[in-house]
């Protein structure tokens, strides 16, 4: 059964942005709407230009702009919304957003800004898998 509304979780690491290639392919094939979501910790603000690895994105001034740029790069011909939430608990914010907005598929990368050193998938990804009421697809990177 194809998902109608996909929530793609972006932490601006190369892992989450690589996952958008798969999101684009799936959404185009199935006519799905995509929301790109980033949760930023209000007490530990890190501007996206400091973590985006793409040189082209270094002049971005906001998380919304950075998400819009990813939308343009990876999700042409797809209906896309962007959502930036301020919350210190990203996994919970993602799960709550998904429930409230009728999301039927959440996409996370297996790793994020912490890199691949950790033995299992990252903690945000793991919490989303455990607590989301929608299906979750973990893109193995």
Instruction: For residue 97, give both structure tokens.
Output: 């957003």
**Full strand arrangement of the beta sheet holding 105-109:** 80-86, 33-40, 5-9, 105-109, 135-139
Sign of the Cα pseudo-torsion (70, 73, 74, 79, in order)? positive
Helices (H), the chain: 14-30, 48-51, 63-74, 90-100, 123-131
Interface residue with ligand AMP, options 7, 39, 67, 83 (CB under 6 A): 39
Q: Does 15 bind ligand AMP (CB under 6 A)?
A: yes
Tell me which residue has its CB nearest to ligand AMP. 122
DSSP 79: -
The piece of 34-42, 52-60, 62-70, 98-106 that touches ligand AMP (CB under 6 A) is 34-42
Backbone angles phi, psi at 38, to 5 degrees: -130, 135
The piece of 44-52, 97-105, 118-126, 129-137 that touches ligand AMP (CB under 6 A) is: 118-126
**Nearest distance from C-beta of residue 17 to ligand AMP, angstroms:** 9
Can you tell me which of 57, 80, 90, 136 binds ligand AMP, judged by CB under 6 A?
A: 90
Question: According to the binding rule CB under 6 A, does residue 98 interact with ligand AMP?
Answer: no
Least separation in angstroms between residue 121's CB and ligand AMP is 7
**By the criterion CB under 6 A, which residues form the site for ligand AMP?**
9-11, 13, 15-16, 37-39, 90, 108-109, 111-112, 114, 122-125
């Amino acid at each position: 059964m194809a998902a109608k509304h996909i929530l793609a979780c972006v932490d601006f690491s190369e892992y989450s942005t690589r996952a958008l290639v798969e999101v684009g392919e799936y959404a185009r094939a199935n006519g799905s709407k995509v929301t790109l979501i980033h949760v930023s910790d209000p007490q530990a603000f890190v501007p996206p230009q400091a973590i985006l690895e793409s040189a082209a994105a270094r002049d971005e001034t906001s998380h919304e702009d950075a998400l819009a740029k990813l939308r343009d790069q990876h999700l042409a011909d797809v209906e896309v919304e962007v959502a930036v939430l301020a919350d210190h608990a990203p996994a919970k914010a993602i799960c709550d957003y998904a429930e409230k907005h009728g999301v039927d598929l959440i996409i996370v990368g297996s790793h994020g800004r912490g890199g691949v050193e950790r033995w299992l998938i990252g903690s945000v990804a793991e919490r989303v898998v455990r607590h989301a009421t929608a299906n979750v697809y973990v893109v193995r990177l």
